[in-house]
Structure 1
């Protein structure tokens, strides 16, 4: 059962390295039969895409085909994202990412063997015109993104990379986004303290 950092007392934190965190995720996925959907979530400062990328080859080496997807390719049109300006934290929290499209085009059809790897090209502000790709019966759909894990998106494994408020502020270039995380209370199967990516800690209850 997944959990967040809040509401757990006491908690134990198991020290890891980046490589052992990758191995932990790979082990969890390998134990799951059939098609598997994995969400790796974290603020942009935590670079969830970097961790997701590191998981790909170990899974493929075990015979599990992987389809990578990023929420950066499931943004809403600029007319929606930027309706209240380019630095509106409320819009970033609620209107920036097309989670409905992610579920409709990736997470739901993945279990039937097809996904749309991208929906929107932010650079051109047009549909990406991507085509559906096949997901084999033992395939893994691996999604990285931010603000994903309080929306009850369907997945077999969820990972959250948690940054303390100080680390989040220190590492975030786009400071206007910080208020978007004030009320974010993600629930994840693997809840990882990630202030120091080379020394992550897995929160265990």
Structure 2
């Protein structure tokens, strides 16, 4: 992006699984999530409960990173999942989970943590560098294969990453399902590749 303001924030990282170093093994199916030895750290009551939720809580992982960045305490993932569900940001269904639902999520974040949270069903790529330059962060809807930006995804959206920086050449993200040492923290996604993954919507988070 030719005139992007160069901004990269120092933001703590959380994977959407309890053991960040095992993400690639879990995502590729080498091990099942319930085999994660740190499953109890998630706040789950069993490995099976942990496995079911861990595949679905990319948004919670993004929120936990943002909370710590903005000086708040980040509760355990399962505690946040329960609160999100009560707030209407997740709807548990027979065939899975509907969510993250942006508007109730943003309202809950503002009321619960005192942050400014703006649901943006239309968030153009060109606006993202300015958001970051203002000191805000953005949860962005992307295809999960963004962990390997050279890949061609079948569609956009379906996964949330946290935009933490922007340079002229790339967007910088913390990816909750990124591969350790490759695409987890400060992962670089070239601007000319972002559109293949990005669904054009997200949630802007900042200090109220």
| TM-score, scaled to structure 1 | 0.31
Name which one, 1 or 2, has greater alpha-carbon Rg. Answer: 1
TM-score, length basis structure 2 = 0.31
**Quick one: higher RCO (CA 8 Å, sep 6+), 1 or 2?**
1
